Amino acid sequence: MAGFSNGVNIRWEATMDKSDSNKEKRKCPRFYMDFPLEYRVLNAPDAHGGVVVDGSEIGLRIHSVKNMPVGTRLNIAVIFPKEFQMTNFEVIAEVIWKDLYLTEDWNGYQYGLKFILIREDDLRKLKQLLSEQYQM
């Protein structure tokens, strides 16, 4: 990973062998996800799209082509299948870190988001969704 003076890091996606010494030390376990999301910067009219890469009960990691600074607050709707229909959960989250994200076929940004506000019903949906995903 190389740092730049504008605060953006470049991250090349690579497969890494995780030994026991590199076990996750987070408060909440993260789970793999691959769901579309729609988000709006708070108090802005335009909607943007992205993909949820992984998540927990306290935040998400997403990919998007939109460049946003750390500290940006977002209104987010994550869309996922439930039985034979699509549903969603909504949160307000803050960008707490960002990386430039490059792969062979996609250039954009990767963001770490921390939940600021989630309604009880949406938290229940998120917990149910996480229980159906693979833990990292």
Q: Residues near 69 by Cβ (< 8 Å), separated by ≥ 6? A: 95, 98
- Does 24 have pLDDT greater than 60? no
Report how far residue 107's alpha carbon sits from residue 49's, in angstroms, rounded to the nearest whole number: 14
SS (H, E, C) 7-21: CCEEEECCCCCCCHH
Give pTM, 2 decimals.
Answer: 0.79
Q: pLDDT tens across 90-111, in order?
A: 999 999 999 999 988 889 999 9
Of the candidate CATH numbers 3.30.420.40, 2.40.10.220, 3.40.30.10, 3.30.410.40, the domain formed by 30-131 belongs to 2.40.10.220
Phi, psi of 119 (to 5 degrees): -70, 155
Report yes or no: 35 and 79 within 8 Å, Cβ to Cβ. yes
